[in-house]
Chain A
């Protein structure tokens, strides 16, 4: 029969071997994986600028169209600038800012910074604001592009981790994203309205409200509400910056 000491030794050796094997593989593959994650983020930012990129050309297209990256403080100051593939100001490349960590710092009342991507597409400037929020089952994210009036939406991209296919997951659908084109985040008096995702928006909102609203997803109410909240809270962090730009 197998003695207890044999069982313990067997288990201990197996655990050590497995841990060593997995740790080495993870270390070996990490550079490739990180690169893939970065490429995915670049594709998402370009998508908000209505540029379709593949995994192969994402980096080139990103360098071509995103002409400047900025790090913005909640007071509206530009504390970091990355231009021409060089960090001109600040100590971290805005693309490398961990938005989740920064928003966490914000929730704890600490100082934080948020990134901003400035795209130049055939002479037209688009300001791309990254978004991070909560859906029903997990995180949702996105990028909102404003035209150079800082009021009109020029493009948008939304994504999720775990939302239900066919329901909340539909926020990824171009049909949902295209609704945002032409919508405005400020009303005529200059008040911040954000964009609200509302059930039956085209029918229940007044024409004035509909300038700042889009249709929610049937069966995806909570995810849709998550998108509204995400746009509202993330864009609020840039209000001071936008105020300074409009002067």
Chain B
């Protein structure tokens, strides 16, 4: 039996797979992937949360599956196999949503199906899962999913709070504000505003992490 390097499940290197995508390698703000769904489903917090959870699950498990079968995939149909794995997982998630959280699946409507077009997934499969071991790939999937998720949750929080005065559907803006003349910001519910918010997050992120700024 050859001696394998015993790497603990949560070694420092493995933890980095989870933490890097949260900030310095954030799929949305640094790699600029997955933008359209980040804008489309964040008008309210609940759909943003469900979408985030779905992406974490699909990215993690497609990374895992592809990593397990990576040595047997014929290179010629590599992309097709990746697509099939992601599409199958997405359909499974969609079917489960329709069966168990129907109201949310209505709000997410086509966007769950569009997870497969989310560049984050194919990006991670090609860049990581095809060349790394299953557990690492699984962690990488979770990490990137979480990086995408916190952006979505921040957007969902801001947009629902100021666009509808609610959070997770519950009224949060005190009636007193409305009586004084405060109105919900209708503009923030529209996608372009979400893009501006992403830009603001990128701005804040780069101010804090100078290494992200392009040396041009």
For chains A and B in complex, what number of residue pairs have CB atoms within 8 angstroms? 56
For residues 43 through 81 of chain B, which have their beta carbon under 8 Å from a beta carbon of chain A?
A: 43, 72-77, 80-81
For residues 34 through 61 of chain A, which have their beta carbon under 8 Å from a beta carbon of chain B?
A: 36-37, 39-40, 55
A32 touches B99 (CB 8 A): yes
Q: Which residue of A lies closest to B92 (CB)?
A: A25
For residues 18 through 45 of chain B, which have their beta carbon under 8 Å from a beta carbon of chain A?
A: 43
A7 touches B74 (CB 8 A): yes
For the complex, give the distance between the alpha carbons of A32 and B101 in Å.
Answer: 10
Least distance between B42 CB and chain A CB atoms (Å): 12
Residues of B within 8 A of A7 (CB): 74, 76-77
B43 touches A165 (CB 8 A): yes
- Per-residue interface assignment for chain A, residues 1 to 33, with 1 indicating a CB less than 8 Å from any chain B CB and 0 otherwise: 010001100110011001001100110010011
Interface size class of A (residues with CB under 8 A): 20 to 34
A14 touches B84 (CB 8 A): yes
B75 touches A2 (CB 8 A): yes
Residues of B within 8 A of A165 (CB): 43, 189-190
Least distance between A3 CB and chain B CB atoms (Å): 9
For the complex, give the distance between the alpha carbons of A216 and B65 in Å.
Answer: 51
Q: Which residue of A lies closest to B100 (CB)?
A: A32
Least distance between A137 CB and chain B CB atoms (Å): 11
For the complex, give the distance between the alpha carbons of A40 and B72 in Å.
Answer: 45
Residues of A within 8 A of B81 (CB): 10, 14
Residues of B within 8 A of A32 (CB): 99-100
What is the size, in residues, of chain B's interface with A at 8 Å between Cβ atoms?
26
- Per-residue interface assignment for chain B, residues 187 to 208, with 1 indicating a CB less than 8 Å from any chain A CB and 0 otherwise: 0011000000000000000000
- Does B209 touch A at the CB level, under 8 Å? no
Residues of B within 8 A of A6 (CB): 74
- Does A162 touch B at the CB level, under 8 Å? yes
For the complex, give the distance between the alpha carbons of A15 and B56 in Å.
Answer: 25
Residues of B within 8 A of A26 (CB): 95
Residues of A within 8 A of B106 (CB): 40
- Does A111 touch B at the CB level, under 8 Å? no
Q: Which residue of A lies closest to B103 (CB)?
A: A55
Q: Which residue of A lies closest to B76 (CB)?
A: A7
A36 touches B102 (CB 8 A): yes
Least distance between B181 CB and chain A CB atoms (Å): 18
Least distance between A149 CB and chain B CB atoms (Å): 35
A25 touches B95 (CB 8 A): yes
B72 touches A36 (CB 8 A): no
Residues of B within 8 A of A207 (CB): none
Give 8 nearest A-B pairs by CB, closest first: A36-B102, A32-B99, A2-B74, A29-B99, A7-B74, A33-B98, A33-B99, A18-B88
- A-B residue pairs in contact (CB < 8 Å), sample of 25: A2-B75, A2-B76, A7-B77, A10-B72, A10-B74, A10-B77, A11-B80, A14-B84, A18-B84, A21-B92, A22-B88, A25-B95, A29-B95, A29-B96, A29-B99, A32-B100, A33-B95, A33-B98, A36-B102, A39-B102, A40-B103, A161-B109, A165-B43, A165-B189, A166-B186
